[in-house]
Amino acid sequence: MKYLKLAEFYEEASDTTKRLEKIEILSKFLKQLDECDRDVLYLLMGDIYPEYDDRKIGISNQLALKCIAKSTGINEKDVLKEWKNIGDLGRVAEKLVSNKKQSTLGGKGVLTTDKVIDNLRKLPGLVGKGTVGKKISLITELLTSASSIEALYLVRTLIGDLRIGVKESTIRDSISSAFFNSEEGASKKIQDAIDKTNDIAAVFDIAAKKKLSGFNKLKLEVGKPIKVMLAEKALTIEDAFVSVGKPCAVEYKYDGFRMLIHKEGDKVMFFTRNLENVSSQFPEVVDYIKKYVKGKSFILDSEAVGFNKKTKEYKPFQEISQRIRRKYNIEKLRDELPVEINVFDILFYEGKSLLSEPFQKRSVLVRKIVKNHPYKIVTSKQIITSDEKKAEAFYKKALGDNQEGAMFKNLSAGYQPGRRVGHMLKIKPESKDLDLVITGGEYGTGKRSGWLSSFILSCRGKKGEFLEVGKMGTGIKEKSTLDTGEDISFNELTEKLKPYFLKESGRTVKIKPKIVVSVTYQEIQNSPNYNSGFALRFPRFTALRPDRSPDSVSTLEELKKDYDSQKRNWRYG
């Protein structure tokens, strides 16, 4: 397939913000795809592999800028100047390629999607001496052959900023429309297939044959992580019981990080909720799984919680977060920052998916196959009750054990990957904390000059867009902390954000939503200054969340609930 055809689709899709129009445009495009074009589905999401695959394109803005300069023959400083003026590297490439084509005979041939995918898939595997030069060569080869519109979307794909507004749900409904005329039940079948495979191209393969029954062939597989199920927030224990029903399971809400555990024979793998493979970072947990969990093949959902080796007191997430990030000195970290695995769910066992099985059945199986060894691996602390007083006592016990709170779970509900569900709720103390993503910043002055000193925080809107909710500048250290994992300095946070800078204007910076942070705040106020309509009063940084993706941050709906709860407390408190 010609890449130009895909680029023209990108352009048409980006011209409308209306979801139904995007679905119609994408449906027509999908009908034109041949079976050999299946990998184009990944490009629709701005990627080159299925979502479960942790190989990423990984090209920084700075490297993309060098490639634009080399392919157009324009000095890097001039390209940088254009970027500062336009604020979009894709548009910079479009403009400069257009100017070049007007003054030359053009490119070196017709660009195809196969060629684009082939070159881009070589990038993640390049390591060692000469890597940067090889990457520039592969990308320049594409840009040299690209038309202006192709250059625009090639560069946006490289830096992970496609900007066409097509999400998984858009593709799902477009597949339903294109191949099943939006037949009743088709979207659910397609979503179930996506949930089980995390592979949009595999789903397209089945859909193109126009048989809904074909989706039954797609199975959950060990080694291919799926998105975890997420909890909604309850304001009170009474509200939780109303939502999930009585009796229900009440469990500890652990202050750790999510860990999906996959085992097939002797091979054990671990994935974060962000689908990052962290198997090599936890060698001791591999031993725990092999020794204390019965079964040849399974997928477990769990929370890894840190503890003090001497006192056995549980630690907050931020003190052990570096266990996710560090890929060296593993043995030293293992000794200094031990973790306990708390298993609370099972998704797959001995060749069979359990996603549609009721939670109570899954919970019983977990407790049957996991042999508890405190401070190594245990099943989650749980009671099944209809009694609000018992639930409250259990909740207080969780807090006394240095955990975040309690989870309330409907006993008959299935497991729904990648969604916040009303049949699983969380309750935490009124500490007023949120997970948010950084989308902007401002350079400091005086002793903070040279790095960002305040950071724009954003939540997620109904359509998946990011909406600003305030500026954060406290809770961050002045000087380097040598990556202790417990806190972070202004210069360290700035360095982490630099690869995602989109546009600089004076002292302000627009930042691609990639870095997720946990913050506390005093209260939520109405505010016309931010596009969410709300502002956090005194937001304070508490932790980096490398285990969480921007798509999983707190939603505008959650902020509204907290705001309404605040008003009720003012009125009646």
313-341 pLDDT, tens digit each:
998 887 888 888 777 788 888 899 999 99
**The tokens 């003026």 sit on which residue?**
85
CATH number of 3-158: 1.10.3260.10
SS (H, E, C) 178-205: HHHCCCCCHHHHHHHHHHHHCCHHHHHH
In order of 16, 72, 163, 317, 376, the CA distances from 12 in angstroms are 7, 26, 12, 44, 53
CA–CA dist 263, 132 (Å, integer): 36
The model's pTM is 0.81
Tens-digit pLDDT profile for residues 3-51: 999 999 999 999 998 999 999 999 999 999 998 999 999 999 999 999 9
Q: Which CATH class is domain 433-572?
A: mainly beta
Instruction: Give the model's confidence band at 569: pLDDT under 50 very low, under 70 low, under 90 confident, else very high.
Output: low
Both structure tokens of 267: 């091979």
Taking the CA atoms of residue 89, residue 93, residue 94 and residue 98 in that order, the dihedral angle to the nearest 10 degrees is 160
Q: 253, 263, 315, 512: which is the annotated catalytic residue?
A: 253
Q: Which CATH fold topology does 230-427 show?
A: D-amino Acid Aminotransferase; Chain A, domain 1 (3.30.470)
Mean pLDDT of the chain: 91
Residue 485: predicted pLDDT: 44
- Answer whether residue 488 shows pLDDT above 80: yes
Annotated catalytic, 253? yes
Amino acid identity at 147: S
Q: Which two tokens stand for residue 126?
A: 């390049």
Range with the lowest mean pLDDT among 182-196, 367-381, 416-430? 416-430
* Cα–chain center distance at 105: 43
